[in-house]
Amino acid sequence: MPAFHAYHELHFGLSLEDQLQQSGASLEKVLRNMRLAHDLDGEFVLTVAAVLIFGRDPQRLLPQSRLSAVAFAGRNEDSDILDRREIVGRLPSIVDETRLFLQRNIRRPAREQGFRREDLPLYDPTALGEAVVNAVVHRDYSLSGSQIRLFLFEDRLEIRSPGILPNSVTLENIKLGVHAERNRALATLLTQLGYMSAIGTGIPRLIVRLSRDLSGREPEFEIIGEELRLRIWPRPTP
């Protein structure tokens, strides 16, 4: 797993080969000690988190871990499709590729000020990045027939994530920072890789506040069936 080798050196400041040589431990023992693998019916297997973060082809074992991204010309799913991608790979790659999809498809209106052109971002990029990471980390991976769906409409962005809210989290208190980690190992690994913070305030501090400051409208959370939907509104344009 080349990705695990890179992670190990980044996190521990020591190459995996050097650690194995110095400690005399096997790779299997290191993975077990890091809780990235365990024995199942006497067989050595990687955890779901290890497959999703470090695996060569996570969708071979977990096809629901892909992300479907669609940009529509209008305000509903009957509109013409401008761009569509099935984004696959390790979760860090999925996050990065989704950001590129959004950068490519979000309009960039501008206003002229004298001889200068000032771009007017429709969405806060930090808020969008946090929303994508949250969906990837907190979705319910036990729902095998459902992937994350990201829909960019003319008047809003929607992220539809499989799974209802866990434990004591509600549609009301999620905006206040109340959270419960459904996939703690994933959250830990993506925090160590720099994709999220460890303080658990990304929704109120980054998604809600930054989006509201730009658009004047608070993002909406809604549960429909077994799916959590987040809607983010763009900056009003003249």
pLDDT at 2 over 90: no
Q: How many helices (H) and strands (E) in the chain? A: 10, 10
Q: What is the CA radius of gyration of the chain?
A: 20
Tokens at 101, concatenated? 């999809």
**Secondary structure class of 19 (helix, strand, coil):** helix
To the nearest whole number, what is the mean pLDDT of the chain?
91
Q: Output the furthest CA–CA distance in the chain (Å, rounded).
A: 72
Instruction: Determine the average pLDDT of the residues in 147-156.
Output: 97
- Reported as type and span, the H/E element at residue 44 is strand 43-46
Tokens at 169, concatenated? 């989290």
What does the domain layout of the chain look like in residue ranges?
2-46, 63-232
Tokens at 92, concatenated? 């860090």
pLDDT at 238: 67
Q: List, for residues 105-120, the tens digit of each pLDDT value.
A: 998 877 777 667 777 8
DSSP letter, residue 144: T
CATH fold group of domain 63-232 = Heat Shock Protein 90 (3.30.565)
Q: List, for residues 36-84, the tens digit of each pLDDT value.
A: 999 988 899 999 999 999 999 999 999 999 999 999 999 999 999 999 9
Residue with tokens 């996939």, as numbered in its chain: 183
